[in-house]
Amino acid sequence: MKLGACREAAMSRRKSCLTIAGLDPSGGAGVLVDVAVFRALGFHPACVVAALTVQDTSRVEKVVGVDPGLVKSQAEAVFKDLDVAAVKVGALWSRENVGAVAGLLQAHLDIPRVVDPVVKAKGGEELLEEEAAAELISKLLPLATSATPNVEEASKLTGLEVKSAGDVEEALRSLRRIGVEVPVIKGWVRGGKVVDAVLFEGRVLFLEGVGVGEVKGSGCAFSSALAAYLARGLKPLEAVSEARRFTLEAMRAGLKVGGGFRVVNPAAQLS
């Protein structure tokens, strides 16, 4: 290899995936899980902390939103310096942060944007201020390549009571009308099976899987894996399928690290 080519190879930058989400100090969810997923899937991980929490593996005791100007500045520094191939958005807490992140995504519509509209923690505690929901629906979801609510979140975002297969399909089509390109509703339970439903090119697909029990961080792992697979260039349905497979393996390898829920283990797939 010629000297110039060697220098060019040495100077080529590794692609990054960026998460904008909350910090779980116990490491069971939020940006720490997203970082582990990005690294496991071959990307340099970058993270912007939008909310600070007081929580352990059992419950969330307190949530404080980071100043929206600081959220914006963190992300702008990353975008300016790194080669960001995809963005995953998780818990933002405040209406102001939802607006700030929407503005950031508007400037980066050339890369995949996965929004996990986190409303509550695994234990049921609120992770989104009530007044932030309308902002999320009107400003953030219309910019999403994909959104990955669970059944409860889909109900809140669409105003529908999601119980049956028909309800799931109606909620997916409602999310599509809001502007989400490829909406996914995850974790719907039907006949003892755990089902993830996806709307793509007008068709609703119900993807069944076997439940492995409650594992903290599974929603974070799925949405960040989906972002990473889209960044790899996979088509949406293939990316969803691979993200489901990755997440299931991370759940099966879940770790008991505290007194509460087991936590996902994305790094298990590196061994």
pLDDT for residue 1: 45
101-126 pLDDT, tens digit per residue, is 999 999 999 999 999 999 887 777 78
Is the per-residue pLDDT at 7 higher than 80? no
pLDDT for residue 10: 45
Q: In what order do the strands lie in the sheet with 182-190?
A: 60-65, 44-55, 16-23, 84-89, 113-115, 146-147, 182-190, 193-200, 203-209
CA distance 50 to 188: 28
Concatenated DSSP letters of 22-64: EE-TTSSSBHHHHHHHHHHTT-EEEEEEEEEEEE-SS-EEEEE
Q: Report the number of distinct structural domains present in the chain.
A: 1
CATH assignment at residue 19: 3.40.1190.20
Least confident of 24-28, 118-122, 143-147, 236-240: 118-122
Is the per-residue pLDDT at 192 higher than 90? no
CA distance 158 to 169: 12
Q: Determine the structural domain holding residue 9 and report its residue range.
A: 3-270
**Higher pLDDT residue, 1 or 23?**
23
Is the per-residue pLDDT at 205 higher than 90? yes
Is the per-residue pLDDT at 207 higher than 60? yes
Q: What is the mean pLDDT of the chain?
A: 93
CA distance 174 to 170: 6
Is the per-residue pLDDT at 159 higher than 60? yes
The answer to whether residues 261 and 122 touch, using CB atoms and an 8 Å cutoff, is: yes
CB-hemisphere CA count at 13 Å for 268? 15
Task: State the CB neighbour count (10 A cutoff) for residue 83.
Answer: 13
First to last CA, the chain: 33
CA distance 86 to 143: 13
45-65 pLDDT, tens digit per residue, is 999 999 999 999 999 999 999
- Counting other chains too, the contacts that 201-205 makes at CB distance below 8 Å and 24 or more residues apart are 204/168, 204/169, 204/172, 204/173, 205/237
61-100 pLDDT, tens digit per residue, is 999 999 999 999 999 999 999 999 999 999 999 999 999 9
Task: Kindly state the percentage of the chain with pLDDT values over 70.
Answer: 95
pTM of this prediction?
Answer: 0.93
